[in-house]
């Protein structure tokens, strides 16, 4: 109680996100996930956003602490143009904590994207790498 079911995945490109979506749809049919997504700069955010809309009604976008991280304004513009239902919280741990507050005990929180994003969360949760 108090901690949601958690899935961590490093899908950080269109092929990885497609594989993630396919697998969670297979394992958890008809389930929608609250997602935290933090990726480095990419030219194909719209393609990625289209895929994740298949499994998530709400996405918390965040920005990894890395020199190749996207500018928040660029990420938000891409999400708006893709009609993604999102909230942008630039700090990874703040985004994760916010998402944990939103999910209920029977919900699943799916965190994906850059290794840098997952690394911060794994360290916070004391999950061995």
Here the CATH number for the domain that contains residue 31 is: 3.90.190.20
87: phi then psi, degrees, rounded to nearest 5: -130, 135
- Whether 129 is in a domain gets the answer no
Q: What is the pLDDT of residue 3?
A: 58
- Residue owning tokens 């004391």: 126
Q: Are residues 20 and 53 in contact, defined by beta-carbon separation less than 8 angstroms?
A: no
- Whether 58 is in a domain gets the answer yes
- Whether 51 is in a domain gets the answer yes
Count the residues in the chain: 129
pLDDT in tens, 87-105: 999 999 999 999 999 987 7
User: What is the rounded CA–CA span in Å between residue 69 and residue 126?
Assistant: 24
Ranges of the chain with pLDDT below 70:
1-4
Q: What is the pLDDT of residue 107?
A: 83
> How many domains does the chain divide into?
1
Q: What is the pLDDT of residue 2?
A: 53
* Residues 6+ positions from 98 with CB-CB distance below 8 Å: 60, 87, 89
Question: For the whole model, what pTM was predicted?
Answer: 0.92
Range of the structural domain that residue 62 is part of: 5-124
Find, among 102, 105, 111, the residue nearest to 38 by Cα. 111
- Whether 12 is in a domain gets the answer yes
- Whether 57 is in a domain gets the answer yes
């Amino acid at each position: 109680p108090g901690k949601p079911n958690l899935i961590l995945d490093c899908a950080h490109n269109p092929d990885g996100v497609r594989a993630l979506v396919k697998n969670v749809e297979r394992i958890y049919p008809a389930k929608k996930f609250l997602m935290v997504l933090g990726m480095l700069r990419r030219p194909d955010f719209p393609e990625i956003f289209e895929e994740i809309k298949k499994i998530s009604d709400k996405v918390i976008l965040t920005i990894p602490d890395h020199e190749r991280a996207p500018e928040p304004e660029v990420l938000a513009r891409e999400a708006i143009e893709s009609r993604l239902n999102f909230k942008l919280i630039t700090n990874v741990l703040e985004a994760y904590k916010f998402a944990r507050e939103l999910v209920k005990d029977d919900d699943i929180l799916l965190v994906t994207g850059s290794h840098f994003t997952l690394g911060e969360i794994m360290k916070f949760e004391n999950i061995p790498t």
